[in-house]
Structure 1
Amino acid sequence: MNDLTPARLRELKREATVRPYDLAAQLGVSEAALVEADLGLGVTRIDPVPGRLIPAVERLGEVMALTRNRSCVIEKIGRYTDFHDGDHAAMTLNPEIDLRIFPGRWTHAYAVEAENANGPRRSVQVFDAAGDAVHKIYLREGSDLGAWSALLGELALPDQETPSEFRPRAKTPPAKIAEDRADKLRSEWEKMTDTHQFNTLVSRLKMNRLGAYRLVGAPHARPLDVDAVPALFEAVRDQNQQVMMFVGNMGCIEIHSGPMQNLKPMGPWLNVLDERFNLHLRADHVAEVWLVNKPTKRGPAISVEAFDAEGAVIFQCFGMRPEKGGDAEGWAHLVEALPAPKVPA
């Protein structure tokens, strides 16, 4: 749409009754382009490199961290601490804000100050090369405004005017299956001693996660019904299970470790509204659910994993390890009771 000048985008943002993610989709622009429409008007383009950005964020104190994909949003309140930098992968290991960061996807970043009914709302927003949100950080009432000013001073980029060029969004690859390597997949799967070996294994066999699950078969991976997702949430709540919920995208994965207590379904959304942890899941986007068992030195790592119709991961949910307060036996019983796919009549 050629008439979508920054001024027009600002006008549409003021009139919008939907979230920026949905407004961008309606307009056919990237979410980052919506943010950039306010460059110089409360929005500052900043350095997106995690090795510079996260240490500045650490000094903000308590904030809210948000990571999303097309189908799921995770929000955690806490502090950024224990940052470990790296060229290909970085992480924060705070018990509340626990992130796996892939710096190559952190392409655009902005410090945003926007007025709302409760006064100014300040955030750091990071996007990939296509302008899709990778990670967002929202200041809270107790956040350090001096550290916010310092962040702006340290990380503002010289060019605050030239519009960014956003690349076309990469398509999600479909399930990659190598039928002739099924036996090799099964034998190598059984030799795993750590869940992190899985990605290397499937890559070496020219497959991907969903393709491997479809091929390997029980007891390593078996399909569940899509209704297993609400059943999982309810069982975790009712049995007070401690879980690790992984939600993310190609640039960032955010992890919740603990219970899921306050469930509030609303239309297609399954919501967890706990005090310092919120999750918002479009249940109608769930196309496949898998129960996965990977061997490790500490015993089996059992997960429930949901995928959308394009084959993208929506979330992965593991039982918390016993040394962290989890109940391995209870988790195993819980997932075994989840509904299997319905047999066609």
Structure 2
Amino acid sequence: MKSTLSPDRTELKERWAEYKLANPKTRIRDAAKALGTSEAELLATGLGESVQLLDGDFRELMKEMGALGHVMALTRNDHVVHERKGVYQNISFNNHVGLVLGEDIDLRLFLGDWKFGFAVSENDRFSLQFFNSFGDAAHKIYLTEKSNKEAYHALVAKYLAADQDVNLFVNEKKEKEAEPEEAAGLAKSAFQAEWLALKDTHDFFTLLRKHKLTRKQALRNAPEGYAHRIKPESMKVLFDALSQSELPIMVFVSNPNCIQIHTGPIKKIFVMGPWLNVMDPEFNLHLREDAIDEAWVVRKPTEDGIVTGIELIDKDGVMFNQFFGKRKPGIPELAEWPALIEQHSIQF
């Protein structure tokens, strides 16, 4: 049964239809910004047609995701899109924090603000899409030619909301405040000593909270030799070097609701407009180079030795992309990784 759209949704649907005619290649996230709405609200204009609203505990739905077989997991933020194909395996939850620890699909899920879920069918492409209370995409799952469509339709039927004729109400975002360059009142020597005493990379977040530091402030006050800036254009040079070396790396992309990780080599690299792209069979990355305000090489001590990462930060101070050499707890990082960074990054 088709939904009867409210006047507001009817008007938004008409505006989006006009926008798509004028801008046929624009992604829905960018269209939402241009139209002064959220992606979730824009998608909801298709309720009763190509979109179905989901309901229930999304933790339970996610636990069943393995039944779909081979799919494509997509996590993005404003500046980078991470797409990884594979199977959802080893899915577990501790309250609203979830783990997916498959060989290919590797996720950290923070479901405390997964507000809306939709099943979407467009041009014979099926997906499950989840959004937070601000209407921003948290995580999306697309069927591939290898997926189990019967399992998908069974899941949609199981979690289908009884009322499909609803208006979405999203929270309004606060304006981002410009962060101060300097860290007022920082006990710098104590901070640096605690940095040097780190045992695990995850403890770095605790260190920042303890000293009330933003990411940029922390990196600017790092111990000597533990953080330095490289030019943003280094990323294309590094990607090309990685492609040639076939060195396996870890690529982290995060938003407030999900972290998605690719582990392995990257091979096919090309630039299209502002986008630096990885286009491999099982992994795609789309990175807006012009969004990189600062790029840092960061070294953190662990019980397994130094771990070297590249951190990309936007003009608002948000770290939106991280890169590491392939490693696991108990195994030191690959020596080739910091060597490649040193050889191919462009220094200030």
The two structures have a TM-score, normalised by structure 2, of 0.90
Matched, 1:238 2:244: yes
Q: Secondary structure of the residue that 1:157 maps to in structure 2?
A: coil
- Runs of 4+ deviating beyond 4 Å: 1-4, 170-176, 322-327
Q: Distance in 1 between matches of 2:250 and 2:47?
A: 38
Q: What is the match of residue 189 of structure 2?
A: 183
Q: What is the match of residue 87 of structure 2?
A: 79
CA shift, 1:229, in A, is 1.6
Alignment of 1:128-147 (within 5 A): 128-147=132-151
Structure 1 counterpart of 2:231, from 225, 236, 251: 225
Same amino acid, percent of matched pairs? 35
Q: What is the match of residue 340 of structure 1?
A: 347
Deviations 1:53-91 (A, max 9, x none): 212322111111111111100101111111111224211
Deviations 1:223-264 (A, max 9, x none): 111122212212211222110000121111110100111001
Structure 2 counterpart of 1:161, from 148, 162, 165: 165
Kept in 2: contact 1:6–1:38 (CA 8 A): no
Q: Secondary structure of the residue that 2:117 maps to in structure 1?
A: strand
Structure 1 counterpart of 2:292, from 286, 295, 301: 286
Structure 1, 5-14 or 155-164: larger mean CA deviation: 5-14
CA shift, 1:13, in A, is 6.6
Q: Distance in 1 between matches of 2:68 and 2:210?
A: 42
Matched, 1:124 2:128: yes
Q: Distance in 2 between matches of 1:47 and 1:170?
A: 27
Higher relative strand content: 2
Alignment of 1:1-345 (within 5 A): 5-9=11-15, 11-12=17-18, 15=21, 16-17=23-24, 18-47=26-55, 49-114=57-122, 116=123, 120-172=124-176, 174-175=178-179, 177-321=183-327, 328-337=334-343, 338-341=345-348
Kept in 2: contact 1:243–1:326 (CA 8 A): no
CA gap of 1:69–1:322, structure 2 versus 1, over 3 A, is closer
Give the number of aligned pairs. 337
In structure 1, runs of 5+ residues without a counterpart are: none
CA shift, 1:175, in A, is 4.6
CA gap of 1:295–1:49, structure 2 versus 1, over 3 A, is farther
Q: Distance in 1 between matches of 2:301 and 2:57?
A: 35
Q: Secondary structure of the residue that 1:332 maps to in structure 2?
A: helix
Q: Secondary structure of the residue that 2:277 maps to in structure 1?
A: strand
The two structures have a TM-score, normalised by structure 1, of 0.91
Q: Distance in 2 between matches of 1:156 and 1:13?
A: 29
In structure 2, runs of 5+ residues without a counterpart are: 1-6
Q: Distance in 2 between matches of 1:295 and 1:332?
A: 14
Deviations 1:79-106 (A, max 9, x none): 1111111224211001211111111131
CA shift, 1:164, in A, is 1.0
